[in-house]
Amino acid sequence: MIQDWFLDAKLGIFIHWGIYSVADVSESWSFHNGAISYEDYMKQCEGFTAEHFDANAWAQLFKRAGARYAVLTSKHHDGVCLFDTAETDLSVVKCCPAGRDLIREYSSAMQAAELRCGLYFSLIDWSDPRYRSVYPAGVSPDDSRADIYGSPAGGPEDPQAFEAFLASNRSQMRELLTNYGTIDLLWFDGDWERSAEQWKMAEFRDYLHRLNPAIVLNSRMQGYGDYATPEQGLPLEASGPFEFCTTMNQSWGYRPSDDDYKSPAMLVRMFCDCISLGGNMLLDIGPKPDGTIDAPQVERLEAMGDFVHANSEAIYASRRGLDRIHYGEGSTLSKDGRNLYLFVFDSPAEMVCVRGLASAIDSITVLRTGERLNYQFTGAVPWQGIQGTLWIEAKGLTIEDHCTVIKIALAEPIKIHHGHGSAITYNP
Ligand code: GLC
């Protein structure tokens, strides 16, 4: 079930950490798509040391970034587990010099730092032959031969093997939800390769709720999750809870060759766009094989934190702001609807304007500094319910790092006028 903590959190950190950080290849997809052989991909185990992994330092960094939760890959599509599991030997505990349970260190550190603790878990496992034992709907044996890791490699189906695979996923969920303190959120991935019926999703959801009734589940459960997960492309509209996940460069995991980073200003703006629609942003980092985080990623997390901490009132526990027709650059509202926060990018030459605001105003200030701003309304025809335009004097407003937040304190819960306007048939 969706929880208030999740709706209020706004910023989470996504962490794609696995053996794929060793050889500058993409997570799992690199062998699936044939960019590297399966054998060479798995050889990366030898270089995954986690020797400088300091989970508490990660937690402190995430807090400095202003995040309220984190989601770490406990197992990606390659099937390599970051935790000690009775279900397989394919884990960093048994196959890598790391030799230890990294989910334990991570979960303890997040819990100690009072960050909500999330785990990513790939439903699909391209290393497990049992996973390949039934066909996805619409896939024929001929198609499946081209894709041996996603489908049966030709030949008859073996539903029993698939059932054993599902049982193994369930056992791993039990391990993760019972051995690591409170896990607040599960982030499934890869549901698209099988149907809800094949995954036995309804039963799976019940099973998870028996293990933790308060668990938040992302949507990649073929219709059985709690919130939507738009990926990379910023949503322009939303209907219901969502979390926009995005990379900082082009890669989920660590790829030293990828320096195509979004700037801090771009990330702050994407974040504002996302929370203006009422969503969360799950901002991804890809740690190195030794557990350290590359400087450009740290720099971006800290820049996010500078913005978030200075403007926290406009961010945490806020709700979706005005439609863009009323204010074009994005905004949030306090839960009680009495404070409206406008995001202002690029210095306005003269005015910032809000259209159709029909509530009386107490004051308009720059959130960070408290500086009062003058304002006026024009075009109001109150007896026809037309509110006109609010003009906020913003000449000389210095744009703070990346974004300035203007706070409009309302004398009453917000009312907004939508409409077509009309001729005035009576002039006082
Ligand atoms: C995609 C990919 C995966 C990545 C995930 C993050 O679905 O399969 O590699 O982990 O998105 O959202």
Per-residue pLDDT of 199-247, as tens digits, reads 999 999 999 999 999 999 999 999 999 999 999 999 999 999 999 999 9
Closest ligand 1 atom number to CA of residue 245: 12
Q: Which stretch of 118-127, 301-310, 414-423 has the lowest confidence by average pLDDT?
A: 414-423
pLDDT at 147: 66
Closest of 192, 189, 188, 190 to residue 136, by C-alpha: 192
Over residues 92-110, the mean pLDDT reads: 98
State yes or no: pLDDT of 312 exceeds 70.
yes
Q: Bridge-partner residues for 407, per DSSP?
A: 341, 365
State yes or no: pLDDT of 254 exceeds 90.
yes
State yes or no: pLDDT of 17 exceeds 70.
yes
Instruction: Tell me the whole-structure pTM to 2 decimals.
Output: 0.96
Mutate to test the pocket of ligand 1, among 252, 255, 282 (most ligand atoms within 8 A of CB): 252
CA distances from 294 to 21, 53, 125, 254, 259 (A): 12, 13, 28, 8, 11
Q: Which residues of 125-156 are buried (b: 16+ CB within 10 A; e: fewer)?
A: bbbbebbbbbbbeeeeeeebeebebbbbeeee
Ramachandran area for residue 21 (φ above 0: left; ψ -120 to 50: alpha; else beta): alpha
Q: Nearest 5 degrees, angle CA 238-CA 315-CA 265?
A: 85
pLDDT at 287: 98
Q: Which residue do the tokens 């039963």 mark? A: 203
pLDDT at 216: 98
Q: Is the distance from CB of 48 to CB of 98 less than 8 angstroms?
A: yes
pLDDT-derived band at 403 (thresholds 50, 70, 90) equals: very high
State yes or no: pLDDT of 103 exceeds 80.
yes
State yes or no: pLDDT of 184 exceeds 80.
yes
Task: Find the residues whose C-beta lies inside 6 A of ligand 1.
Answer: 16, 27-29, 189, 231, 245, 252
pLDDT at 289: 98
Closest of 334, 280, 367 to residue 68, by C-alpha: 280
pLDDT at 423: 77
Instruction: Let me know how many helices (H) and strands (E) the chain has, helices first.
Output: 13, 15
- Going from the Cα of 252 to the center of ligand 1, the distance in angstroms, rounded, reads 7
- Going from the Cα of 226 to the center of ligand 1, the distance in angstroms, rounded, reads 18
Cα(first)–Cα(last) distance of the chain, in Å?
A: 55
Over residues 265-284, the mean pLDDT reads: 98
State yes or no: pLDDT of 138 exceeds 80.
no
State yes or no: pLDDT of 400 exceeds 90.
no
Name the phi and psi angles at 425, rounded to 5.
-100, 0
DSSP secondary structure letters along 179-228? SSS---EEEEE-GGGS-HHHHTHHHHHHHHHHH-TT-EEBSTTTT-SSBB
State yes or no: pLDDT of 272 exceeds 90.
yes
pLDDT at 139: 79
Closest ligand 1 atom number to CA of residue 28: 9
Strand order in the sheet with 11-15: 216-217, 185-189, 116-122, 69-75, 11-15, 280-285, 243-246
Q: Could you give the CA distance from residue 126 to residue 88 in angstroms, rounded to a whole number? A: 13
pLDDT at 143: 75
- Going from the Cα of 71 to the center of ligand 1, the distance in angstroms, rounded, reads 13
pLDDT at 182: 98
Over residues 113-120, the mean pLDDT reads: 98
The mean pLDDT of the chain is 94
State yes or no: pLDDT of 146 exceeds 80.
no
pLDDT at 156: 83
pLDDT at 264: 97
Over residues 395-418, the mean pLDDT reads: 91
- Other beta carbons within 10 angstroms of residue 316's beta carbon come to 16
Mutate to test the pocket of ligand 1, among 120, 231, 242, 245 (most ligand atoms within 8 A of CB): 231
- Going from the Cα of 271 to the center of ligand 1, the distance in angstroms, rounded, reads 20
pLDDT at 417: 84
Nearest residue (by CA) to ligand 1, atom 8, is 190
- Going from the Cα of 189 to the center of ligand 1, the distance in angstroms, rounded, reads 7
Over residues 385-394, the mean pLDDT reads: 87
State yes or no: pLDDT of 42 exceeds 90.
yes
State yes or no: pLDDT of 343 exceeds 90.
yes
pLDDT at 145: 64
Over residues 45-71, the mean pLDDT reads: 98
- Going from the Cα of 415 to the center of ligand 1, the distance in angstroms, rounded, reads 40
Q: Which stretch of 96-110, 302-316, 358-372, 385-399 has the lowest confidence by average pLDDT?
A: 385-399
Q: Nearest 5 degrees, angle CA 376-CA 366-CA 270?
A: 105
